[in-house]
Amino acid sequence: MYIGRVPVAGPEKLKLTRVAANQEIAPGIFMLSFPRAFDFIPGQSVWLTVDPEVPPRLYSIASGNGDALVEILYDLVPEGLLTPRLAGMREGHSLLVSSAFGPFRDEEGPSCWVAAGTGVAPFASMVRSGLVREKMLIHGSRTTAGLLHRGLFADALGDRYVPCCSREAAEGVFHGRPTEWLTLQRLPLASRYLLCGGSRMVVDCRDVIIAKGVPFESVIGEIYF
């Protein structure tokens, strides 16, 4: 479905770049990278497509802001226009990418991050950019294979990393959804809460966090529309 010209929310122009790597890192989930030609703030996103005829979609950057390559994560949507073509890309293939934009970001100080699926990308970027002190990540997935960048987060955050799997029991992994984990906790009221993922996960977690007494002004959601 093409719903207009190049989106105006980001920079107007998409620039040509080349795929550096593209691999399936979990069933149906891919990691794609390309040379970094712009600066960005961890948490920001890019518009990306494979040619001008395919409407660009928005992807959070997962790499650190000092890395030579920009990395994004995407789910293969078999009936989609873009991701089946993205999944077929190899090193050297052409991509059209905007520069980074968006206000979803964090700063120093206590924060609780909640993510599911590829929604973990902005938090991977933050960790890789050195934003780890007083940060906590509640990371949801159906299976352990879907806990993307689990090693990165476990190393950087230690016991402030909480992997949650709803359909698989595993050692060191909470058996349930992030909402269920949050429901069982006493949440810090002075913390910021950054949520990223599908709408249902973000809305459900936001409801739980607010019900625990956290001011709604402290809760920011980034929904993958």
Residues that bind other proteins (CB under 8 A): 1, 3-9, 55, 58, 102-104, 198-200, 202-204, 206-207, 210-211, 215-217, 219-223, 225
According to DSSP, the β-strands at 15-18 and 57-60 are unpaired
- Of the pair 11, 188, the CB lying nearest other proteins is at 11
In which residue are the tokens 């929310």 written? 9
Measured from the CB atom, is 6 or 152 closer to other proteins? 6
* Contact partners, residue 171, CB within 8 Å, separation at least 6: none
Nearest distance, CB of residue 110 and other proteins, angstroms: 18
CB of 15 to other proteins, least distance (A): 19
Cα(68)–Cα(84) distance, integer angstroms? 26
What span, in angstroms and rounded, lies between the C-alpha atoms of 43 and 150? 18
Q: Would you state the structure tokens that stand for residue 190, as one six-digit string?
A: 């002075």
CA dihedral sign, ordered 212, 148, 111, 39: negative
Q: Which is nearer to other proteins, 184 or 211 (CB)?
A: 211
Minimum distance of other proteins from residue 38's CB (angstroms): 18
Least distance from C-beta 58 to other proteins, angstroms? 6
Q: In what order do the strands lie in the sheet with 21-26?
A: 21-26, 29-35, 69-75
Residue 27 or 213: the one with the smaller Cβ distance to other proteins is: 213
